[in-house]
Structure 1
Amino acid sequence: MPEVIFPGPEGRLEGRYHPQKAKDAPIAIILHPHPQFGGTMNNKVVYNLHYAFLNMGFTCLRFNFRGVGRSQGEYDQGVGELSDAAAALDYLQALNPNAKHCWVAGFSFGAWIGMQLLMRRPEIAGFISVAPPANMYDFSFLAPCPSSGLIINGSADKVVPPSDVTGLTEKLQQQKGITITHEVVDGAGHFFDPGMDEMISTVDGYVRRRMTETTR
């Protein structure tokens, strides 16, 4: 098992790390949903995103936020979790100093954390935001949003109303210099069951298209 333990701000963090053979392979971190509602790095959406990026040639890391699984510390309202994500990216970059590109993907609460990480780390070239909880958290910090990315949600999401995700997307799409792509998986709920295959296929197509554009 590719289990890793790495230092975080409040003690050790537990993760799963899959490197590529190519030393300059792009890197991606994947962030899990809310720790207080059963969110872990083994959530199905997170697991599938991890392997989608791996299959596209990325070196991937997913991990448990503080207080989840074997990660030390306790839930910190998103503040500490953002620090955890920054520590995870530091760890991934230290192992892969020659990586060509850096991406972040997050699901639900993890999407909110991922978008904040995007604001802190200019080296992040792209993002995948799955079912971002626009009805629960303030995303106004994305002013301006520094990178282009994909926002994807289900049309039958009962946790995050699709209209809230559309509203967030429309605000971001007004910004210049970036392109925010918005896709809706018809009939999918918050956890994409059904709809997982279509969501992952959409992510795969989007990332491959972006990577092709950057290598031209």
Structure 2
Amino acid sequence: MTSPDFPDTSSMLALLGPAGGLEVAVDRPDADVVALPLTVVLCHPLSTEGGSISNKVVTMAARSLRELGANTVRFNFRGVGQSAGSFDHGNGELQDLLAVVAWVREQRPDDDLWLAGFSFGAYVSLRANDTVLPDALISIAPPAGRWDFDKIVTPVCPWLVIQGENDEIVDPQAVYDWIDTLKRKPDLVRMPDTSHFFHRKLIDLRGALQHGVKHWLPAA
């Protein structure tokens, strides 16, 4: 499989990943937005619980970033949608992410590259951060207490964590306790009355995300 060029318009495409083809959605900023030299790779929640690139939190996060001028790249982890392979407990999924990042950097060498993830996707992107060394990192409901965070290297880049206070899947206190152990802490946004999937709070998520990252955006 030949690596495709980065598309000029929003497109679905296939990349060759470690386990076979990876289904990828590339979206460009709308025509009325000043495009920035920035591409954000977003990771979806747990594959075995229905997580995919169409998850509403992931799509809202991507939309929010495109409204600021970023390109966004969402992809299905192995075994999801048209992506080959099977669930690998975060290890193969990490390799999937690294393959997508390598393609983005090959295609967009002059862009800043950010990583973002929701739930399991936040875990995978955090695991990748010391290899990728992104220009910024966004973690939405990082699943501390559900996955092994002990070996995660604390990001050195600008880093935003958004956590719902009524999360019924990720224990908010476990997230706060984990952050308390870090020598370098992220910018933390606690969203009151907010469940794991941000039911009726997606517009609030959009605002929190855009406000949290606006000072990190590269110049047009």
**Normalization by structure 2: what TM-score?**
0.88
Pairwise CA RMSD of aligned residues?
1.8
Q: 5+ unaligned residues in a row in structure 2: which ranges?
A: 1-9
Return the offset for 1:93: 1.6
Question: Runs in 1 of length 4+ with deviation above 6 angstroms?
Answer: 21-24
Query: In structure 1, which of residues 43, 46, 51 is the aligned counterpart of residue 55 of structure 2?
Result: 43
Aligned match of 2:129 = 118
Give the AA of the match of 2:55: N
Moved more, 78-87 or 45-54: 45-54
Aligned match of 1:84 = 96
8 Å CA contact 1:17–1:60 kept in 2: the answer is yes
Aligned match of 1:2 = 11
The answer to whether structure 1 residue 105 and structure 2 residue 105 are counterparts is no
Higher helix proportion: 1
Aligned match of 1:15 = 24
Q: Deviations over 1:98-157 (max 9, x none)?
A: 21x1111100000000101111112x0111100010011121223443323011111111
Give the AA of the match of 1:202: A
Query: Residue 52 of structure 1 aligns to a residue in which SS?
Result: helix
8 Å CA contact 2:160–2:212 kept in 1: the answer is yes
Q: Distance in 1 between matches of 2:118 and 2:216?
A: 20
**Normalization by structure 1: what TM-score?**
0.90
Identical positions, percent: 29
Cα distance change of structure 1 residues 144 and 153 upon mapping to structure 2, 3 Å threshold: closer
8 Å CA contact 1:169–1:182 kept in 2: the answer is no
Aligned match of 1:58 = 70
Give the AA of the match of 2:113: C
Return the offset for 1:70: 0.4
Q: Distance in 2 between matches of 1:144 and 1:42?
A: 29
Give the AA of the match of 1:193: H
8 Å CA contact 2:158–2:216 kept in 1: the answer is no
Q: Distance in 1 between matches of 2:153 and 2:164?
A: 25
